[in-house]
Amino acid sequence: MERPDYRSLVTILEVMNKEGGFFASVIARDDGFLIASDVSATTHPDVVAAMSGYVADTVERMRDELKLGDLKDISVRCGNGKAVFRKIASQGRQALIIAAIMPKHVRYHARAIGKASTQIRKVLGYR
């Protein structure tokens, strides 16, 4: 089995950030371990990765308890911007999360994140 080209993950994030108007994005495992990032100079990728794991775990437990069905994505809207977290894949493997941080004026993020998620799954061999 051929090892994935992890450098291409950064390129995917760069394109996603440009298309979506995001200023930071990371791919992290659900335990908060950073896989790849494309962030602004003022953003700490390890912190975003750690928060991705924490937020995803907390929301998954809430979703289970409230019987809300499948999780699509998690949006956190604040006064100065927002963060969106989406689980990329988890079929029998460590779950991966893509996180995007954007200014508050960005309204449409789903297409850019969805496109990047599909490309990331392909690179890493997830279905």
Q: What is the pLDDT of residues 4-13, one digit of tens each?
A: 778 899 999 9
- Residue 26 forms part of a structural domain: yes
pLDDT value for 27: 95
Contacts of 3 (CB under 8 A, 6+ apart): none
pLDDT in tens, 55-92: 988 888 888 899 888 778 889 999 999 999 998 877 66
pLDDT value for 18: 96
Give the CATH number for residue 95: 3.30.450.30
- Residue 76 forms part of a structural domain: yes
- Residue 56 forms part of a structural domain: yes
pLDDT value for 9: 95
Domain that holds residue 98: 7-124
pLDDT at 1 over 60: no
Residue whose C-alpha is closest to residue 113's, from 5, 26, 36, 51: 26
- pLDDT bin (cut points 50, 70, 90) of residue 24 is very high
Query: 101 vs 43, 62, 74, 77, CA distance in Å?
Result: 10, 23, 12, 10
pTM here is 0.89
What the block records as the tokens of 122 is: 């392909």
What the block records as the tokens of 91 is: 């079929």
Q: What's 21's DSSP letter?
A: T
Q: Are strands 74-78 and 81-89 parallel, antiparallel or unpaired?
A: antiparallel
- Residue 2 forms part of a structural domain: no
Query: 69 vs 16, 59, 60, 66, 84, CA distance in Å?
Result: 27, 12, 10, 9, 19
Domains in the chain: how many in total?
1
